[in-house]
Structure 1
Amino acid sequence: LEAVDFAGNSEGARTNINNWVEKQTQGKIKDLLAQGDVNGLTKLVLVNAIYFKGDWDKKFKKRATRKHKFRINKNDTKPVKMMHQELNLPLAYIPEANCSIVDLPYKGKDLSMLIFLPNDMRTLEQQLTYENFVEWTRPDMMRMTEVQLGLPRFKMTETYDMENVLMSMGMVDAFDMARSNFSGMSPGNNLSLSKVVHKAFVKVNEEGTEAAAATAAVATNCCMPMPPPRFIADHPFLFFIRHNASKSILFAGRYCSPE
């Protein structure tokens, strides 16, 4: 907990918060809070930051990376640098989602990147719940298979305003001054959330993955038939970085188009 002067120097406070986030994420998340996100009426800013850098358990050889067409939709493609290697990986095919899943471990195998490669993204997203995610990625649902793997080299940075998302999930009272209750952190009854900002960075290359995320909240007054052995992520896919022992999802994203 750190005291800052929002009333007298809101811009200085914003810079201080952004510098802290940048340091915690090894320089990957810059300017989490934009100009105007805090002002003289701001009472409290809650900031969360996470940083991850992991090497693949078996790294891709750079000489195997080559240009490949990435299908954005049925009609359009863009070039990507596609990394290639052949290795034994847990693989599953989920017929109801028309989707193949591969588990690509990081060094030490405590963490993995799970890649969901659907034939139709809309079908997958309609079927994908947390319960289905857990079911589809159970060890006994996946079979060790010699896979010809192709994965784009990519980097993405995204910023999201989360207020509407959180309210749609039922977190309504926190944004309403009349109903909010932050008594656990403030003795007064005059705090409510006005803004929640989330920013994420993910970089995937032959060595491994680098990822960071930060969030700030501002208050004011079973397998079917075996899939083919080729798993080439040359069209939109979902990815999840998971801590395997706890099954916790640390990062999640959708890759739909090269930069």
Structure 2
Amino acid sequence: MISSRPRNTAPPSGDVALRELVNGNTAFALDLYQRLAEKPGNLFYSPYSISLALAMTYAGARGETERQMAQTLRFGLPQAQLHPAFNMLDLNLRPPEQKPASEDEQPFQLNIANSLWGQAGFDFLPEFLDLLAENYGAGMYRVDYSEPETARQRINGWVEEQTRQKIKDLIAQGMLNPMTRLVLVNAIYFKGAWVYPFDKESTRDAPFTLLDGSRVNVPMMYLAKDLLYLRGKNYTVVRLPYRDSPMGMTIIVPDEGQFEEVERALTPQLLEEIRSNFSLAAVRLAMPKFKMETSFNLSQTLAEMGMPAAFDRSLADFSGMTGRKDLFISNVVHKAYVDVNEEGTEAAAATAVIMELKAMPMNEVELTIDRPFLFFIEDRESGTLLFAGRVVDPR
């Protein structure tokens, strides 16, 4: 059974539902950040991608499994409103169709793709498949998990294609087996050119102080422009806009010795406070280039955050998918990639409007990001956090 329903491109979702969804997603994104940040090192993930993939799974959850998932994922809307709201948000985030000479010349690219990979011959409820087709544009691909390696290669090939070859081997060998019945995949690819590119000629090695106080040399980029800027209590924030897009990168630079304190204080309220207190300043900015690839199996993390039933063979109730309590989640795999350089940002994960302020910028400030920092790629219009991370060592 495969749904023949087209995606609903005019979902019945109002601003209130959308705001509720984005607020919940942000709260979950930062709950998850605190868990992932417990491990040392750089961090990068796409909270939006994770929420989207889990929302598709949540569509089939019932009973205690559904209740735990809603609480953990901060889904405040009932199912009948949640999925149309996700649909509306997803459609709003997509860039308008552009026809550049080639894809590479397009200054802003955002590709969000969802898919289901079901066992051939295994029946899913038509209403479950319809809901995902209408609200997530997710089609069902049939694979035979009795040949797990062939199935794995097909799914990974799809992810590679959707993320412009940036995310390879999302599903590792041995992760699928003949008992696998369904794999839900979300892939997200983002490429944004800065409104104000850094001058490549100016990039040069400069010292960066690590959390342990030792110093390393890293390629530092330089820019002097009018940017949105905020000096907070124990941190400084700057926002770099992307061309032809409402997206921007918000960089939070904790004061020396304050990194853990600022990181612990990361809440939706803090982000909202930052957004509403930005002002335009003439900023002389120095920031490191960085590139990273990360990989997580989030099953244990999500169970510990409050949704253990979904992962428990004897407790899981996904009867909204099949009409029977015969499925549970075995793995939630997430891989993410980011490359920040002079021209802009390329980011992928599976699973800028220039502000015109009437007042002239008054203050001239200098910000040298020569110590660990946090960063978010977010949509200014909805407040959606597409990507989040921290850089403690740019090398």
Q: TM-score, normalised by structure 2?
A: 0.60
Q: 1:108 to 1:238 in 2, by over 3 A?
A: same
Deviation, 1:149, is: 0.6
Which structure has the highest helix share of the two?
Answer: 2
Amino acid of the residue matched to residue 188 of structure 1? R
1:6 paired with 2:145, answer yes
- Give secondary structure in 1 for the equivalent of 2:188: strand
Amino acid of the residue matched to residue 175 of structure 1? F
Deviation, 1:164, is: 2.2
Deviation, 1:227, is: 9.5
Amino acid of the residue matched to residue 48 of structure 1? N
Q: In the alignment, what sits opposite 2:297?
A: 161
Amino acid of the residue matched to residue 169 of structure 1? M
Which residue of the other structure, out of 193, 197, 206, is the alignment partner of 1:55? 193
Matches within 5 A, 1:28-39: 28-39=166-177
Task: Provide structure 2 residue ranges, at least 5 long, that are not aligned to the other structure.
Answer: 1-139, 352-361
Q: Is the contact between residue 79 and residue 258 of structure 1 (CA under 8 Å) also seen in structure 2?
A: no
Q: In the alignment, what sits opposite 1:42?
A: 180
Amino acid of the residue matched to residue 144 of structure 2? D
Q: 1:228 to 1:184 in 2, by over 3 A?
A: farther
Q: In the alignment, what sits opposite 2:313?
A: 177
Deviation, 1:228, is: 7.8
Matches within 5 A, 1:72-221: 72-95=210-233, 98-119=234-255, 120-138=258-276, 141-215=277-351
Deviation digits for residues 139-191 of structure 1, max 9, x if unmatched?
Answer: xx011111111111111000011112212322222112333222232232110
Task: Provide structure 1 residue ranges, at least 5 long, that are not aligned to the other structure.
Answer: 216-225
Deviation digits for residues 46-86 of structure 1, max 9, x if unmatched?
Answer: 11100000000111111111111111135312211111010
Which structure has the highest strand share of the two?
Answer: 1
Q: Is the contact between residue 282 and residue 364 of structure 2 (CA under 8 Å) also seen in structure 1?
A: no
Q: Is the contact between residue 281 and residue 363 of structure 2 (CA under 8 Å) also seen in structure 1?
A: no
Q: 1:227 to 1:187 in 2, by over 3 A?
A: farther
The count of aligned residue pairs is: 244
RMSD in angstroms over aligned alpha carbons?
A: 1.6
Amino acid of the residue matched to residue 269 of structure 2? E
1:22 paired with 2:160, answer yes
- Give secondary structure in 2 for the equivalent of 1:213: strand
Q: TM-score, normalised by structure 1?
A: 0.90
> What is the alpha-carbon distance in structure 1 between the residues aligned to residue 212 and residue 148 of structure 2?
49
Q: 1:205 to 1:48 in 2, by over 3 A?
A: same
Q: In the alignment, what sits opposite 2:393?
A: 257
